[in-house]
């Protein structure tokens, strides 16, 4: 497994999580709350795909996001990078002495 240098983490990302809040009418609404804001990351493109579905062209993109070690990120969280929202699809398991957290996230799909 590759290791990264801190200087390679040169892109700012936010990590967000869905939270259920109540509204004034007694109902509830899902909002995205920040888990981490302005987090330095190394972003690497991994794969892209384009497919037609229901007479509409859909494009997806998977990127690898590497950040300093975090143990509070979950696979149902989202990453916002460069104004685009990415759904986290997997997080590499880290040992107790890992310096970095590696996440794979996809843009262009619904959760």
Read off φ and ψ for residue 8, nearest 5 degrees: -80, -15
Domain count of the fold of the chain: 1
Q: Would 54 be classed as within a structural domain?
A: yes
CATH of the domain at 11: 2.40.10.370
At residue 7, φ and ψ (nearest 5 deg) are: -65, -20
The C-alpha angle 4, 80, 30, rounded to 5 degrees, equals 135
pLDDT, tens only, 75-89: 999 999 999 999 999
Decide if 42 is inside a domain. Answer: yes
Q: Is residue 80, in this structure, part of any structural domain at all? A: yes
So what's the pLDDT on residue 91?
Answer: 95
1 found inside a domain:
no
Q: Is residue 61 part of a domain?
A: yes
Q: In the structure, what pLDDT confidence band is assigned to residue 47 with cuts at 50, 70 and 90? A: confident
Structure tokens that stand for 95 in this block: 């040992």
Does residue 46 lie within any of the structural domains? yes
Domain span at residue 66 reads 6-107
* Cβ(20)–Cβ(28) below 8 Å: yes
Q: What is the pTM of this model?
A: 0.80
Torsion 66-41-16-35 (CA) sign: positive
């Amino acid at each position: 497994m590759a290791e990264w240098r801190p200087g390679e983490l040169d892109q700012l990302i936010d990590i967000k999580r869905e939270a259920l809040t109540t509204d004034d009418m007694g109902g509830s609404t899902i909002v995205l709350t920040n888990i981490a804001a302005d987090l330095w990351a190394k972003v690497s493109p991994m794969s892209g795909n384009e497919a037609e579905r229901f007479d509409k062209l859909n494009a997806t993109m998977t990127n690898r996001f590497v950040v300093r070690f975090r143990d509070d990120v979950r696979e149902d969280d989202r990453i916002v990078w460069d104004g685009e929202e990415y759904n986290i699809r997997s997080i590499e398991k880290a040992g107790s002495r890992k310096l970095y957290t590696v996440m794979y996230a996809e843009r262009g799909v619904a959760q």
